[in-house]
Structure 1
Amino acid sequence: MTLAEHWLPVVGYERCYEVSDLGRVRSIDRIVTTRAGYDISLTGRMMSASTHPSGHRYVHLTMEGRDSTYQVHRLVMRAFVGPCPEGLEVRHLNGDPTDNRLANLAYGTRSENAVDQVDHGSHNQASKTRCNYGHEFSPENTYRHPSGRRVCIECRNRHKAQYRARSQSATAGSEVTHG
């Protein structure tokens, strides 16, 4: 069973382009005036999206002689969900930045996006198998911080012990008897 593709106007380009819930962008039939003052008829067509080195897809949209570049996932979310709330960004839930289907997109925090990347193995730190001090990131030696980053338990315990030792020596030094 094939689901129907739904199209909505691209926000800000309502008379020129549409975006679908499957992450595709198309131009629509329209008449434009050239710089020389002539009216020409443009036939709508499916837009070819380019791929950024990050894997995100983008398209070039033109209106009234101005050319702008837009990421497809942002066009989909803005048309179908609404503007991005302050402090949030678009997340690709399955970790594939080329999958711009509405069902795969959601607004979330930068932290949620980073946790997604770690979970999908696409974060630049996710491929590390050892901490900065050479300890293995094994399930037994790895703690997931609430922010989503991985913490080496061996290093964490060593830092806690060093902190306690410094605190105790500072306390012992302040217990000087006066008399």
Structure 2
Amino acid sequence: MEGQASKIYKLRPYQNWKNIPGYEGLYQASVFGYIRSATRILYKGKNHVPTKTAGKIIAPWIDSSGYLKVDLYKSGKRRCEKVHQLIAKTFIQNPKNKATVNHKDENPLNNTVQNLEWMTNKENVNYGTRIQRVKEKQGLHILRRAPNQEKTFYFTLHEAERKTGIPRQSISYAIKHKTLLKGYRWEVV
């Protein structure tokens, strides 16, 4: 996964860098979705010789849910931060104090400013094709088989109830006990 993140994270020539709120003077964000350490003076060695250290882009890693993250340090403590949230906090106004950052193209690896927007959790859950993708991934996948072997698929019991008018409890009972319901055989696939 780390190799995939580094391929995506190529340096673009003309960055617009801005201090990240809460990390001023330590870390900066780019409109292209990059995070870097700020150029700063470090005191090195026994004599604490001041040395100017150039900022470096921090290589992100992909977490288990598919988002890019970086480790940032402040006052000797490490914080693991999601890149899209840092970019949004830095560049996108949030006058209504919405809590969630949404990827407009639904690609969690595209953290450019143009692809991000603030939303409520409810708006984010209902955005785009997310509901359909979650149903496909986590739904039970109900199969209704007619006597002529014609098949109809439903992603959830709720969907089967809504489309057939048959209560989901009855459908669940028919699946569990392998009985006919309204002339149909019901199965979980």
* TM-score normalised by the chain length of structure 1: 0.65
Correspondences of 1:153-168 after superposition (within 5 Å): 153-155=162-164, 157-159=165-167
Mapped to 1, the partners of 2:23 and 2:80 lie a distance apart of 12
Residue of structure 1 equivalent to 2:117:
106
* CA deviation string 1:101-154 (max 9, x = no partner): 11111111223322336x15884323458348885239xxx9xxxxxxx73333
Larger Rg: 1
Query: Over aligned residues, Cα RMSD in angstroms?
Result: 3.7
The equivalent of 2:26 in structure 1 is 16
SS across alignment from 1:158: coil
Cα distance between partner residues in 2 of 1:4 and 1:85: 31
Alpha-carbon separation, structure 2, partners of 1:11 and 1:39: 29
Quick check: 2:94–2:118 contact (8 Å CA) kept in 1? no
Amino acid at match of 1:9: N
The answer to whether the 8 A contact 2:143-2:154 is kept is no
- Pick the structure with more strand per residue: 2
Q: Cα gap change, 1:122/1:46 in structure 2, threshold over 3 Å: closer, same or farther?
A: farther
Q: 2:106 aligns with which of 91, 95, 101?
A: 95
Is 2:29 aligned against 1:31?
A: no
Query: Could you tell me which amino acid in structure 2 is paired with residue 73 of structure 1?
Result: H
CA change 1:24–1:132 in 2 (3 A) is: farther
| Secondary structure of the structure 2 residue equivalent to 1:136 | strand
2:86 to 59, 65, 75: 75
Give the % identical residues. Answer: 21
Alpha-carbon distance in 1 for matches of 2:136, 2:47: 55
Letter in 2 for 1:28: A
8 Å contact kept, 1:31–1:39: no
Distance (whole Å) between structure 2 residues aligned to residue 116 and residue 151 of structure 1: 19
Between the two proteins, the alignment pairs up a number of residues equal to 148
SS at match of 1:103: helix
User: Equivalents in 2 of 1:71, 1:61: separation in Å?
Assistant: 10
TM-score (norm 2): 0.62
After TM superposition, give the deviation of residue 37 of structure 1 in Å: 8.8
Change (3 A) 1:133 1:87: farther
CA distance in 1, matches of 2:142, 2:117: 31
In structure 2, list runs of 5 or more residues that go unmatched. 1-11, 146-151, 171-189
